[in-house]
Chain A
Amino acid sequence: MSKKKIGDVILDVHNISLRFGGVKALSDISFDVREHEIRAIIGPNGAGKSSMLNCINGVYKPQEGSITFRGQTFKHMNSRQVAEMGVARTFQNLALFKGMSVIDNLMTGRNLRIKSNLLLQALRWGPAEREESEHREKVERIIDFLEIQAHRKTPVGQLPYGLQKRVDLGRALAMEPQVLLLDEPMAGMNVEEKQDMCRFVLDVNDEFGTTIVLIEHDMSVVMDISDRVVVLDYGKKIGDGVPDEVRANPDVISAYLGTSH
């Protein structure tokens, strides 16, 4: 399906285990993500998909295993460090800055790239002013790309859900990430909104070459847009491969549909 070049391994997750007290959220999970691909993590509710993403993002610290990102190996990640290395994420249950306008939300994504110091910013003097307008330009391009021009000044809290999801994606894109982690970008959307979102995800991947790690439990969506799929169930990896392989995997079928005993 794809004409794009898939590169080397950019992110390698190695034997990750995560426990909350006695509950094993993830046991011994390993998989890799290659540059420029769309890599999906699927699984039924409670399979540990979000936990996995949170480990990569540094929100959770796994007890065992390691994560290698562009050749550097970490026991666990830390949120800010991850952001600095070029990994952005969106949230399953929207964590937007609700009181701020769409533009301001996206501008926060530029935070790490703002170089001029506090005093200059406050005075809006020379270089700081110029820098601000450069960032502003980048943000405007993303707003065009996501087709939310009409809402740029609206406080995000007042937008409908589907558009809020888009702003969430936009804020992550504003970071110009190398790897984009999407936590159920299509959850709670109607068919039309899902199609829009699919198109944006594919376009991001295509136009910017961004590597995408995507969590989803809607199988049909995932199979259409991803290059390779990891399947989790009860914190264990039960499948890994291209969509057709995964679809034919008996373990995956039973996890999703149940087996006759």
Chain B
Amino acid sequence: MGFFLETIIAGLMNGVLYSLVALGFVLIFKASGVFNFAQGAMVLFAALAMARFAEWLPEWLGFESLLLANVLAFAIAAFLMLIFAWAVERFVLRHLVNQEGVVLLMATLGITFFIDGFGQTIFGSDIYVIDLGLPDEPIFILEGLFPGGLLINQDDLVTALMAMAMVALLTLFFQKSGTGRALRAVADDHQAAQSVGIPLGRMWVIVWFMAGLTALVAGMIWGEKMGVQFALTFVALKALPVIILGGLTSVPGAIVAGLIIGVSEQLAEVYIGPMVGGGIQIWFAYVLAMVVLLFRPQGLFGEKIIDRV
């Protein structure tokens, strides 16, 4: 029983990260109808910026505090994502208003390759580390309930909490603030939103910036765990089955589906894996997503597509 719970907890911790990246996709899709293929590249770009500035700043300014370096680097990386969001609206989206979804998707493919290359040109293409200075000794909890207690990695716990905080902040922002309401309005009907004076362009910048922030937080956490490297863009693709499962238009869907995927792939790896020789964590999520697709094409939480004949 203790082992089973440990597996589930590990799955949930991975799952929160999947949710976070999936949220980036969903936010942009809802607000601008764009399936943003560049989300993975944004994760890498943001993580690179954070890793490099955390390394450069102490050298340039001559201080030693790790915390200060990380906070400043995070702020700079966030600012870069804001510039990126502005540039995407100014130079790409603005010119493609009312184009078909496919055209917009291709545009984001272009953006993907651009920021992949651009990021590595200015930040370098080695493997970099993000050191958040988290404690890495495992801790044991609930020792009274289970023999030996449950083993949890402290750094996993902290990063999962960060991801959860980010998800909670985003949800709060969208549900409770006036700007969040305007964003939901834009997601619902562009024309009506314009008629009440909501500026589409600025809303797009905001929503791409929000997606940029989720990318930064996800990139930072993964970077801390596995180093900042090109492979991050592929980890981010794990968000795809999450979106299929949760539905491309549902924010709660992205959150729940991320957790479902995280837990189920962990369980599959541990309990089914040994029977088939292991390594099924890599593809299990996709199979799960495909099965869902067969029965509910709109995802578990997505809006049902009804066509009037």
Binding site for B on A (CB under 8 A): 57, 59, 79-80, 83-84, 88-89, 91, 95-100, 104-105, 107-112, 114, 116, 118, 121-122, 124, 132, 135, 171-172, 174-175
* Assembled-state Cα–Cα distance A171/B192 (Å): 10
Determine if B194 and A108 form an interchain contact, defined as CB atoms under 8 angstroms apart: no
6 closest A-B pairs by beta carbon, nearest first, are: A83-B197, A95-B192, A97-B188, A121-B177, A79-B194, A112-B197
Determine if A109 and B196 form an interchain contact, defined as CB atoms under 8 angstroms apart: yes
What's the least CB distance linking B130 to chain A, in Å?
A: 26
The residue of chain B having its C-beta at the shortest distance from the C-beta of A105 within the complex is B185
Which secondary structure dominates chain A's binding surface? helix
What's the least CB distance linking A136 to chain B, in Å?
A: 11
Indicate which residue in A79, A98, A116, A175 contacts B188 across the interface (CB closer than 8 Å): A98
Residue numbers in A under 8 Å from B196 (CB-CB): 83, 88, 108-109, 111-112, 171-172, 174-175
Contact-size category for B:
20 to 34
* Assembled-state Cα–Cα distance A100/B183 (Å): 11
Determine if A95 and B178 form an interchain contact, defined as CB atoms under 8 angstroms apart: no
26 contacts between A and B (CB under 8 A): A79-B194, A80-B194, A83-B197, A84-B197, A88-B195, A88-B196, A89-B195, A96-B188, A96-B189, A104-B184, A108-B182, A108-B198, A111-B196, A111-B197, A111-B198, A112-B197, A118-B177, A118-B179, A121-B177, A121-B179, A121-B180, A122-B179, A132-B178, A135-B178, A172-B195, A174-B196
* Assembled-state Cα–Cα distance A105/B193 (Å): 10
Q: CB of B118 within 8 A of chain A?
A: no
Binding site for A on B (CB under 8 A): 169, 172-173, 176-182, 184-185, 188-189, 191-199, 206
Indicate which residue in A80, A96, A99, A112 contacts B192 across the interface (CB closer than 8 Å): A96
* Assembled-state Cα–Cα distance A83/B184 (Å): 19
What's the least CB distance linking B191 to chain A, in Å?
A: 5
Q: Please indicate which of the listed interface residues B173, B180, B185, B198 has the most CB atoms of chain A within 10 Å of its own CB.
A: B185
Determine if B177 and A80 form an interchain contact, defined as CB atoms under 8 angstroms apart: no
